[in-house]
Structure 1
Amino acid sequence: MTLSFFDQFMIPQLMGMPLIIPAMFFPLLLLPQTPRMLQNRMHTIMTYITQNFTKQLLLPLNLPAHKWANPLTSLMILLASMNLLGLLPYTFTPTTQLSINMALAIPLWLTTVLIGFRTQPTNALGHMLPEGTPTPLIPMLVLIETISLLIRPLALGVRLTANLTAGHLLLQLISTATLALLPTLPSIAILITMVLILLTLLELAVALIQAYVFVLLLSLYLQENT
């Protein structure tokens, strides 16, 4: 049976039950969890990285938005752990599914919009129409700004899905070419293997960067509405 390159993005099943939920939360179980009085090196490194990320994330935000520090940091850790664990062999990356990314993007984006309409409705509606707009252009600009507002969650979900899917497909294509050339052209196969290692390192960086970009854009949306 010939397998498709896209079979790696199919949701695994066990006895007919989809394993998407365990695949989402299993990476968090791998993080070091020790009692507060029993610190080790790994726990200290994780605490240092988390504190510095939270500090950098909250620098451009207004004071009322600082209450979102824990949800945004937790989301960053969740996305980064799923992206990184999905690079291992015989694993599944939940963030390659558009449905999962949209399920994360839409509620969080909608929450930021509702916060804006609840706390500062005038400013939230003012984003729909730039100051000093000529009267004939008002209907068109309101329509454009409304579309740009509604397309934000789609951009969040599609960006994360497309980057991870493209990276995984590229790795699989190059690894398949390496195995095909190994018996006949071993020298070229070795060169391609070196390229594959470099792309793997690049994919590790992409996995972290895309998680950071997802959370950063959410924080920018939050800043506009607080």
Structure 2
Amino acid sequence: MTDREIDLNADLGEGFGIWRLGDDEALLDVVTSANVACGFHAGDPATIRRTCAAAVDRGVRIGAQVSYRDLAGFGRREMEVDPEELCAEVLYQLAAVDGIARAMGGRVSYVKPHGALYNRICRDPGQAEAVVAAVAGYDRSLPVLTLPGSAVHGVAARHGVATVTEAFADRAYTPAGTLVPRREAGAVIHDPDAVATRAVRMATARVVTAADGSQVPLEARSICVHGDTPGAVRLARAVRDGLAAAGVTVRAFA
């Protein structure tokens, strides 16, 4: 990718059974990479199959969005999981989604941890080791998405696994470059113009304005818009249109 290219990803396939969350097909018309829920925080076999098939049909890259085993909490509750067990659970999720993706004519191209697991491994090398070991054991060529400055980068380098830095257009940042916890007011940004403006600055100026107004340097190869955020399709379209207007090509990194 060049300095004027960036990937746009979203969390998809997060329904369960008869419950649908978000408009996956509409988002797949906008994004270049789809983080498909693996069944531990959301998703089920039929949903995974449907989402992978739709992604393949549109030429969108498929990522495995691995999570803590936490359907009730949507994977957003931090959990204490033995590293060996966590490694096995990540491997299980990755293999399941990749198998379905291959049956649909595609494959998993990257791994993106979800929610509490994503945030935990950014600061916890032990948990990061469990996740990266699972990826390395399955397919060392699969990159892992994570924040700049995350503990994952060093762990992945030891395993010969690539990392891809990402930024969140619809989330507030702390001055340290981490995400403001969802329980705090203003953690999620809903205004399409504000989200698009942030995305353009992330892609061109390599900076984000933190919640306290400070400017935080940020290097990202991918920008995320959450699929479960109300108005996610509108937000994603605003981001893509804003990037195009700024002369930034939206293209999958994988």
Q: Same fold (TM over 0.5)?
A: no
TM-score of the superposition, structure 2-length normalised?
0.23
- Higher Rg: 1
Q: Which has the higher helix share?
A: 1
- Which structure ranks higher in relative contact order (CA pairs < 8 Å, sequence separation ≥ 6)? 1
Greater per-residue strand proportion: 2
